[in-house]
Structure 1
Amino acid sequence: MVSPPARAWMLQTMPNPEPRPIRPADVGELHEMVRELADFEKIGHLVKSSPGDLADAIFGQRLLEALVIDRPGGDGLAAFALFYRNFSSFTGKPGLWLEDLYVRPDFRGTGFGKSLFTAFIDTARQRGCGRAEWSVLDWNQPAVDFYRAHGGELMPDWRICRITFKD
């Protein structure tokens, strides 16, 4: 973690974050951050994916897309957003589902999350999507507040259900 004085200096001198599409060389670190996110959500034991799985989904099968933000100075990644296409039978249009948005702790409050979320929403609009959707854990109040502040509507009557298939 960055010390408070160093963090204050970093925030004052940091350029505006610019999301960019992921590159194959980023996949290993992306997977590390997926594990960090799962640990934060207290479900790290559920991560079964490998960097190869992510690389195949993004660059092979093209099932998944990723935007990343580099750390200032270019020494690795600071944040990512993973999303994929879906379809709404109600709107009759495709949509985008934001699977994960993660900002490493040292870079929270820097605008990186806002920049990634805005890029995700802009991508959905540019593609003519009827919806952009995501889920948020009800106990993660900072994330709930973040999404509400950026126009997200929490759907109180909806809950996500899941069946997990065992290997």
Structure 2
Amino acid sequence: MKTFIETSLPNFKLRFADTGDVSLILGFIRELAEYEKMLPEVVATEDVLKESLFDRKMAEVIIGEYQEEPVAFALFFHNFSTFLGRPGIYLEDLYVKPKMRGNGMGKIILSYLAKLAIDRKCGRLEWWCLDWNQPSIKFYKKLGAVPMDDWTVYRVADEALYKLASDL
């Protein structure tokens, strides 16, 4: 039996995903990747997601349902700030189906994650946003989010990751 979290938006409820949601989560990831023009980069499979999310518990997923239909998701995990000496919540993905945008669902999900961060004694809630995604940037700034302009994200992946690991 699924446990729902009531929200201030009528007929919109949140819940934590379970193993029966793996296919749904992968579908949301693909929809988000298509929106971000990055669909070819999605190599995740249901088996990989099941292992990472539910067997190894490397991240958590919130599902947003409107009138009992899944219409949104957020995938997040804990990071740690050495300066604060506390964990934080890092939001990897937030996606609301296009037909449901503009109804406050994204804000409710972010509000829930903020509450979760406070309840878990986290020092911050943070995420990345693509530079071209002006609608999201405007939305985030309206919520009080501040871009970290002094920081540049670096990534080591694919062959470079294996090469770096071999330099040990």
Q: TM-score, normalised to structure 1's length?
A: 0.85
Q: Which has the higher contact order (CA 8 A, sep 6+)?
A: 1
| Cα shift at 1:16 | 4.8
- The amino acid that maps onto 2:96 is V
2:74 matched to 1:81? Answer: yes
- Match in the other structure for 2:96: 103
- In structure 1, C-alpha distance between the alignment counterparts of 2:93 and 2:36, rounded to whole Å: 12
- In structure 1, C-alpha distance between the alignment counterparts of 2:140 and 2:50, rounded to whole Å: 28
- Match in the other structure for 1:144: 137
Q: Which runs of 5+ in 1 are unaligned?
A: 1-13
**1:11-69 CA-partner distances (Å, limit 9, x unpaired):** xxx72522111122221011011011111111111101012211222211011001011
- Match in the other structure for 1:11: none
**Residues 13 and 66 of structure 2 are in contact (CA less than 8 Å); yes or no, is this contact kept in structure 1?**
no
**Aligned length, in residue pairs:** 152
- In structure 2, C-alpha distance between the alignment counterparts of 1:16 and 1:121, rounded to whole Å: 21
- Match in the other structure for 1:36: 31
- In structure 2, C-alpha distance between the alignment counterparts of 1:55 and 1:106, rounded to whole Å: 28
**1:1-167 map, 5 Å:** 15-72=10-67, 74-75=68-69, 77-166=70-159
Q: Which runs of 5+ in 2 are unaligned?
A: 1-8, 163-168
**Residues 11 and 66 of structure 2 are in contact (CA less than 8 Å); yes or no, is this contact kept in structure 1?**
no
- The amino acid that maps onto 1:149 is K
Q: TM-score, normalised to structure 2's length?
A: 0.85
Of all paired residues, the percent bearing the same amino acid is 39
- In structure 2, C-alpha distance between the alignment counterparts of 1:120 and 1:55, rounded to whole Å: 22
| Cα shift at 1:133 | 1.1
Q: State the Cα RMSD in Å.
A: 1.5
- In structure 1, C-alpha distance between the alignment counterparts of 2:56 and 2:139, rounded to whole Å: 32
